[in-house]
Amino acid sequence: MKYRKLLRVNLTTGAINEEDIPPLTVANFIGGRGFGVNYLYNELKPGTDPLGPENKLIFSIGPLAGTGAPSSSRWIVTAKSPLTGTYFRGCGGADFGAWMRFVELDMIIVEGKTESPVYLYIENGHYEIKNGKNLWGKNTVETEQAIKEIHGPKATSACIGPSGERLIRYATIAVDRGHCAGRGGMGTVMASKNLKAIAINPTGGVKAPSKDFKALIARELAEFQRFIRGEPGSPPFSEKGTTGGVDGTNILGVYPVRNFREGSLDEWKKISSDEYLALKVKSVSCYGCPVHCDREVRVKSGPYAGVSTKGLEYETIWAFTGCIGSNDIGFPVAADLLCDELGIDTISAGVSMGFAYELFEKGIITKKDTDGLELVWGNHEAAFELLKKIANRQGLGDILAEGVKRASAYFGRGSEDYAMHIKGLEMPAFDVRGVKWHGLAMATCPCGAFHNMAFSTQELFGNPWPRSVDRFAEEGYADINKINEDWTAVVDTGIWCNFIGEWQVPSLNLLRELLPAVTGVPQFADEKTIFQVGERITNLERAFNVREGFDRKDDIYPKRFTTELLKKAGPSEGSIIGNFGKMLDEYYAIRGWDQNGIPTIEKLESLGLGQIAKDIIKQRK
């Protein structure tokens, strides 16, 4: 097996060095998310300030990136989150991952902080920290364009926008505007280092894969095409992207409305996937992906007529409709464009606004706090103004830019009850009272309320693998959560796109063929070995958080889910979380963790993480 390579960049000292990634690290962690957590755990001291120079920002790709394997060139970014204080992993798309492969880097580890703005410029074997003062203040589109003007049209970049520069706690890192690592403030960490962008300009030519590997890819691609073009139960992502989620969740009654009080939106068909399909201008895709799930859409009429954006996802549509009780089809398009250009997570922004609307309704904040904005349900014009205030940290927006957990601590007066987050990360677009195992996955997720790290296709799409799940049951399915989590961790090492990875059986078959060929590790043909890598990653992420003081007390829902019945929710009407403690007990037992949610010594040792076990013993003394 050949060594893989990382680039270590210290912004404080200006040192830039290449390092080998040892074969044992590849065998244990494959790439992507596995590499990220392995290095973050080993190199970060417990208690590190997420916005201090000691935090590390780690970009990593999987072994399949840039090889021609379908949907495999996404990238992972790992750091300690300024929003949650936990381990965090973001994931982005477009061409950045493939470009990292073309300059032969599997990882870029950024440490320290510069005195003034810079950007990192990378060619094959040439690395430079360059003056970024002229880029500071530009939005993400302007930044990418400026970098192309300086370095040529082939240069791609991952960059932050002005909201990141203002240290909004949920700032994104963007590539090609809409292909963001959106959640958890990875862009905030980048901004705290005064790093505006990482620009990559491959100059060494792309190494042709071996004939055998090319033949293997061609065979797998044919199989894959059959799958994405409409096998029964396969995702219709090529046509509609993720907008089909609007239809599915409203029908199930789990589309959160008015800050998670109701489970479907009034007249939701006005924003259905068919309505968004009618706005489609063209398909857009990440590098080497035949799915083309991404779309450019343009609003045809109403107050946002003529506005267009790329990469409008289900979650974003929800953030700017359900959260504030609006069914205007154009507002999510305009809000998405603003968030992409300024570099803000749409989910955290939408939930923060829904929180403010509820406080306004309850009289906890008034027009004095909102600079005269009428935050009444359905008022998307006011929401647009509030979003700009968040992006620019003005007035109420300055408080909401801290996220709902910190904002509720600021407002007090019972506002904590309406702050919809887990571990400080704002809830995504699923009401957990109607998809209880999907909810458990978010409660126990190492990054907080993250929907994409153990997506329950069993509950949401009726996937029967490995078996069907009763979405209202409160016992008997924790084993499925473990499988979903460990599997997603594997997908994130590949890095195989999550949207495809959610269909486990065809994806697993593909990975078992491709991973041994590309890594030289024959054991990756074995399903058990692959899942063990996933379990190792999941346990190491948990161990990182335990070392930071997180445990069972933090695997907790906002009060609303355990005290209020879900309303206006069709088949989920009246649902509530009854005995969450029992669900947690079942999950911890299946995981081999103790009743406080701490991985046991035996479990860690069985995964080859004995040293981690010693850290935990030391830390808990």
Judged by the rule CB under 6 A, the positions of this chain that interact with ligand SF4 are 71, 74, 93, 237, 285-286, 289, 291-294, 497, 499-500
> Residue 241 CB, nearest distance to ligand SF4 (Å)?
7
Tell me the closest approach of the beta carbon of residue 69 to ligand SF4, in angstroms: 11
Q: Closest distance between ligand SF4 and the C-beta of residue 337, in Å?
A: 18
In the complex with ligand SF4, the residue whose CB is nearer, 289 or 356, is: 289
What is the nearest approach in angstroms of ligand SF4 to the Cβ of residue 74?
A: 6
Q: Which is nearer to ligand SF4, 44 or 293 (CB)?
A: 293
| Structure tokens, 446 | 């190492």
Burial class (CB in 10 A: 0-12, 13-18, 19+), 282: exposed
Give the nearer residue to ligand SF4 in terms of CB position, either 91 or 391.
91
Q: HSE (CB half, 13 Å, CA atoms) of 395?
A: 16
**Least CB distance to ligand SF4 at residue 497 (A):** 3
Q: Is 529 exposed, middle or buried (0-12, 13-18, 19+ CB in 10 A)?
A: middle
Distance CA 398, CA 168 (A): 8
CB of 105 or CB of 289, closer to ligand SF4: 289
Smallest distance from ligand SF4 to CB 204, Å: 24
The answer to whether 497 and 72 have CB atoms below 8 angstroms apart is yes
Q: Give the whole-angstrom CA distance, residue 373 versus residue 379.
A: 10
Please answer whether residues 418 and 259 qualify as being in contact, where contact means their C-beta atoms are separated by less than 8 angstroms: yes
281 three-class SS: strand
Indicate the burial class of 302 (C-beta count within 10 angstroms; 0-12, 13-18, 19 or more).
exposed
Measured from the CB atom, the residue of 92 and 597 that comes closer to ligand SF4 is 92
- Residue 289 or 478: the one with the smaller Cβ distance to ligand SF4 is 289
CB 70, min distance to ligand SF4, A: 8
Complex with ligand SF4: residue 289 or 454, whichever CB lies closer: 289
DSSP letter for 51, please. T
Q: For the CB of residue 51, give the shortest distance to ligand SF4 in the complex, in Å.
A: 29
The span from the CA of 566 to the CA of 99, in Å, is 46
DSSP codes, 475-542: SS-HHHHHHHHHHHHHHHHHTPPHHHHTSHHHHHHHHHHHHHHHH--GGGGSHHHHHHHHHHHHHHHH
In angstroms, give the least distance from the CB of 92 to ligand SF4: 9
Closest CA to 271 of 327, 325, 316, 310: 327
Least gap, CB of 276 to ligand SF4 (angstroms): 15
Q: Which is nearer to ligand SF4, 20 or 223 (CB)?
A: 223
8 A C-beta contact, residue 344 and residue 168: yes
* CB nearer to ligand SF4: pick between 237 and 430: 237
Minimal CA–CA distance to 331: which of 292, 359, 339, 392? 339
Nearer residue to ligand SF4 within complex by CB, 283 or 619 = 283
Alpha helices in 412-460 (DSSP H): 436-444, 457-460
> Residues near 563 by Cβ (< 8 Å), separated by ≥ 6?
576
* Shortest separation between residue 136's beta carbon and ligand SF4, angstroms: 29
Residue closer to ligand SF4 (CB basis): 347 or 386: 347
